Structure 1
Amino acid sequence: MAGIAFGRFDDSFSGASIKAYLAEFISTLLFVFAGVGSAIAFNKVTSNGALDPAGLVAIAIAHGLALFVAVSVGANISGGHVNPAVTYGLAVGGQITIITGIFYWIAQLAGSIVACYLLKFVTADLAIPTHSLGSGVGVTEGVVMETVITFALVYTVYATAVDPKKGSLGTIAPIAIGFIVGANILAAGPFSGGSMNPARSFGPAVVSGDFKDNWIYWVGPLIGGGLAGVIYPNLFMNQQHVPLSSSDF
């Protein structure tokens, strides 16, 4: 059974670790800038982009493409998590230490916040859209939806990027990860907002000052990511956890 590794502070402050945090900051900034930016752009060119079916498709595609790139550019440095729920799921499965994971979270949240402030500036102070529940959707349904779609995301990460048996699948991992996010936004966008990523929801909430229901986009994704971190490595990965060296993270 995979085990959670707490880690050591000296490993988490090594040169390689600092580079990994910077990579997570940059990757998350790029992803959120493009993802939130696509929503702002569609709202600008339509009367109500959030409710427009074409807007849902456009925003889903933008998020999928942006995540594909963000994961790709960070993969060889930090692993390309770009998401606190992914980091949490990997920590639960023993693939990253708790201490290093906390610093990943800080870098990811900071990247999201900076991206949203940049968007606020370059769009001449247009409103930053936040995730929210669709009409008629309760908080329980929202949490369950975010749990399910985040489980699908982190499960995909394990299967295509983490599992030692992945073989040639590793080369398409960023594409698969981008595809599942785009597909999940198409499925969940009108209901829970289709976040799957606490950082993606937190940055807009900070910049807009609107934290209504923001907790949903922490609880659901962390439950889903944690479940994937328990199920995939314990059922489908044959190797025991080997603590990550400071040269990796």
Structure 2
Amino acid sequence: MPIYRIAIGTPREASHPDALRAALAEFFSMLIFVFAGEGSGMAFNKLTNNGPSTPSGLVAAALAHAFALFVAVSVGANISGGHVNPAVTFGAFIGGNITLLRGILYWIAQLLGSIVACLLLKFATGGLETSAFALSTNVSVWNALVFEIVMTFGLVYTVYATAVDPKKGNVGIIAPLAIGFIVGANILVGGAFDGGSMNPAVSFGPAVVSWSWSHHWVYWVGPLIGAAIAALIYDNIFIGENTHEQLPTTDY
């Protein structure tokens, strides 16, 4: 891809009101998403005793994450673009749709939002554990890495097709719904193997609060690789030179 599409940004961007508002929107969207997604697993576990590891628990987790992400993307879309995922932000950066410095702001806000959501869950539930993502029995780190790459590829490809592509037309209206659906569907596939993260921030918050870091790198490396592949393929093949929307140059 042409190198000029990737932009670092300027130091002033870190303090620009629009960038700060966008980062704040990412913080609240991530808090909403993680509180509902992680909280649903905790609630199901309390009601059914180890319920999240059952088929019904997996379906409940998929639905909760799909619904919550639909809302989280929708409420942030007009302010920050509704990334709600460091992997989506990284994919947007690879495609030249966000500067590096603005992306770092998003990452900080997303990670903090996940941590705060988990802390609130732990407090509100009287100290129940916010379970960190973990590999299932007989699932190796390489198996999990492939799962995370493929699932995140599908997610970021969907983001590009429904929200980033300038030719999206009316499809952009259903972007939050499509993004929520692909995450819910992927959890039904990968949830039984590695939890179906697709989102480094979603894995990071519970890991910090529970201080459990076993194989945590998988939940960063896999999603970032999958996001980069999706961005490169969609941007180069389906958007191309003639229809690519350049980054705004007057904001900062």
Same fold per TM (> 0.5)?
Answer: yes
1:215 corresponds to: 217
- C-alpha separation in 2, matches of 1:240 and 1:136: 44
| Structure 1: gaps (5+ residues) | none
Q: Indicate if the aligned counterparts of 2:166 and 2:245 stay in contact, CA closer than 8 A.
A: no
RMSD: 1.2
2:131 corresponds to: 129
2:175 corresponds to: 173
Q: Which runs of 4+ in 1 moved over 6 A?
A: none
Alignment of 1:181-192 (within 5 A): 181-192=183-194
Alignment of 1:1-249 (within 5 A): 1=1, 3-238=5-240, 239-245=243-249, 247=251
The alpha-carbon deviation at position 246 of structure 1 amounts to: 6.4
Higher mean C-alpha deviation, range 73-82 or range 10-19: 10-19
- C-alpha separation in 1, matches of 2:204 and 2:141: 17
Q: 1:58 to 1:17 in 2, by over 3 A?
A: same
- C-alpha separation in 2, matches of 1:241 and 1:218: 28
- C-alpha separation in 2, matches of 1:76 and 1:196: 23
Q: Indicate if the aligned counterparts of 2:148 and 2:196 stay in contact, CA closer than 8 A.
A: yes
- C-alpha separation in 2, matches of 1:185 and 1:86: 17
Q: Indicate if the aligned counterparts of 1:37 and 1:119 stay in contact, CA closer than 8 A.
A: yes
Number of residues of Structure 1 aligned to a counterpart in Structure 2: 248
Q: Which amino acid aligns with 1:225?
A: A
Q: Which amino acid aligns with 1:157?
A: V
Q: 1:245 to 1:119 in 2, by over 3 A?
A: farther
Q: Which amino acid aligns with 1:159?
A: A
- C-alpha separation in 2, matches of 1:50 and 1:220: 23
The alpha-carbon deviation at position 13 of structure 1 amounts to: 2.0
Q: Indicate if the aligned counterparts of 1:17 and 1:246 stay in contact, CA closer than 8 A.
A: no
Q: Deviations 1:120-168 (Å, cap 9, x if unpaired)?
A: 0000000111111111110001001000000000000000000000000
- C-alpha separation in 2, matches of 1:176 and 1:199: 20
Q: Indicate if the aligned counterparts of 1:16 and 1:246 stay in contact, CA closer than 8 A.
A: no
- C-alpha separation in 2, matches of 1:245 and 1:205: 38
SS of match in other structure, 2:65: helix
| Structure 2: gaps (5+ residues) | none
**TM-score w.r.t. structure 2 length?**
0.96
The alpha-carbon deviation at position 245 of structure 1 amounts to: 4.5
Q: Indicate if the aligned counterparts of 1:14 and 1:246 stay in contact, CA closer than 8 A.
A: no
Q: 1:28 to 1:196 in 2, by over 3 A?
A: same
SS of match in other structure, 2:111: helix
SS of match in other structure, 1:191: helix
Whose helix proportion is higher, 1 or 2?
A: 2
Q: Deviations 1:89-113 (Å, cap 9, x if unpaired)?
A: 0100100001110110000000000
Q: Deviations 1:30-82 (Å, cap 9, x if unpaired)?
A: 00000000000000001211221100000100000000000000000000000
SS of match in other structure, 1:189: helix
**TM-score w.r.t. structure 1 length?**
0.97
Q: Percent identity of the aligned residues?
A: 60
